Amino acid sequence: MRIVLQRVSSASVSVISQQEPSHTDAMPLPEPQGIGIGFLLLVAVSDIDNEDTVSWMSHKIAHLRIFEDCAGKMNRSIQEIKGSILSISQFTLYGDARKGNRPSFTAAGKPEHAAQIWDQFNEALRSQGIIVRTGTFGAHMSVQLVNDGPVTLILER
């Protein structure tokens, strides 16, 4: 699992389009989702990710101390500040552009597996008392954010 974590003052996501459903009835686009202070997570899943990966990453993110305390030091977690998370699935984080001009995405997880692990990850964060909003897996989305700091970390497990 590879995650780009951005500390934000606010963030939102709107689905522009999604894959066609297998039936003939067109599904309406989901409502835009947004948060205030917290984290924007861009989440990529590989085929080797499992429940242990989900547990480790969700614990790390819930306890990461990157919000300022009263002395201005990064010493508070998202749980302590009662922040929220906007979680966006983004397989392109596994893009490999070392050869040629078109990235290869072979390291990204198969969609069925990745969707399941991403859902488990979001539920694991929620189980720690954090409000989690999400984009839509596999959809074309528009993401807006106000990066606070800026503080951006890359987490990998």
Pairing of strands 33-35, 2-17: antiparallel
**Residue 19 annotated among the catalytic residues of the structure:** no
Active site residue 137: no
Burial of 70 (0-12, 13-18, 19+ CB in 10 A): exposed
Token pair for 82: 């009662």
Give the whole-angstrom CA distance, residue 70 versus residue 44. Answer: 34
Annotated active-site residue in 39, 67, 91, 121: 91
* Secondary structure (3-state) at 51: helix
The residue from 90, 120, 134, 136 that is catalytic is 90
Say whether 24 is catalytic: no
- Residues with active-site annotation: 90-92
